[in-house]
């Protein structure tokens, strides 16, 4: 079942769009099934759960951390994580840099933007992000790579609103790319779109979709 869903999903993805299989709250066996079907990028949102899975699953898995990350937990995932989707403050970015330097790595990071109408979502406003980039302190960080932006649309059935939010983030991505990362080939990812809205996200320019429920079903625990 999982293999079939992976294949049906990846076969319809346009070139340049990758699937992050969101495996949080699902057992290692489910990940192994997706892995056997060829999936290599998995998304987790709890540090302890990710650590346990990293230890018992194949080492060529590309782990993405997609949840809200506390600064005091950074050190546990930095030795092996490929991409952190939820950088929502300069302080967090600096902590990732510090911990990555400690283990001799460079870690990919996405700046999380707040595009939803819900207060519960984390992230920079567009203005806050501009201010941080303008300040320029991030340029001193040698052990993080800013690879793009991430955002979550409002959880609503109003797909017009969702499309507008995705388009606004895509437009802001182009502004940031042109303004600060024009010559940086690493800055190319736009992580947006989940099980219920990934077609709209892809249409707006997403390069990474984060899909869990469609692949694995409802959470197991």
Which CATH number do you get for residue 116? 3.20.20.10
- Whether 15 is in a domain gets the answer no
CB-based contacts of 68, cutoff 8 Å, min separation 6: 45, 86, 88, 122
- Whether 191 is in a domain gets the answer yes
Q: Give the residue numbers spanning the domain of 163.
A: 2-10+20-216
Q: pLDDT for 34-55, tens place per residue?
A: 999 999 999 999 999 999 999 9
Q: What's the rounded Cα separation, in Å, for the pair 31 and 34? A: 5
Q: Phi, psi at residue 199, to the nearest 5°?
A: -60, -40
- Whether 221 is in a domain gets the answer no
Check pLDDT > 90 for residue 160.
yes
Q: The whole model's pTM is what?
A: 0.96
The pLDDT value recorded for residue 119 is: 78
The pLDDT value recorded for residue 81 is: 98
Check pLDDT > 80 for residue 121.
no
Number of folded domains that form the chain: 1
Q: What single string gives the DSSP state of each residue in 43-60?
A: EE--HHHHHHHHHHS-TT
Tokens at 200, concatenated: 């709209």
């Amino acid at each position: 079942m999982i293999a079939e869903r992976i294949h049906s999903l990846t076969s319809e993805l346009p070139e340049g769009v990758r699937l992050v299989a969101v495996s949080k709250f699902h057992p290692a066996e489910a990940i192994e099934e997706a892995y056997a079907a060829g999936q290599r990028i998995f998304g987790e949102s709890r540090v302890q759960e990710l650590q346990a899975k990293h230890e018992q699953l194949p080492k060529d898995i590309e782990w993405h951390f997609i949840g809200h990350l506390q600064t005091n937990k950074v050190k546990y995932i930095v030795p092996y994580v490929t991409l952190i989707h939820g950088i929502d403050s300069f302080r967090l970015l600096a902590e990732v840099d510090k911990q990555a330097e400690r283990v001799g790595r460079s870690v990919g990071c996405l700046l999380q933007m707040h595009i939803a109408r819900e207060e519960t979502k984390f992230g920079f406003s567009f203005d806050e992000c501009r201010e941080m980039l303008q300040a320029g302190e991030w340029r001193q960080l040698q052990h993080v790579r800013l690879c793009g932006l991430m955002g979550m649309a409002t959880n609503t059935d109003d797909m017009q609103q969702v499309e507008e939010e995705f388009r606004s983030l895509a437009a802001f991505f182009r502004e940031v790319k042109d303004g600060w990362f024009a010559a940086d080939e690493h800055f190319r990812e736009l992580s947006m779109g989940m099980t219920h809205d990934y077609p709209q996200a892809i249409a707006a320019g997403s390069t990474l979709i984060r899909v869990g429920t469609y692949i694995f079903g409802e959470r197991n625990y």
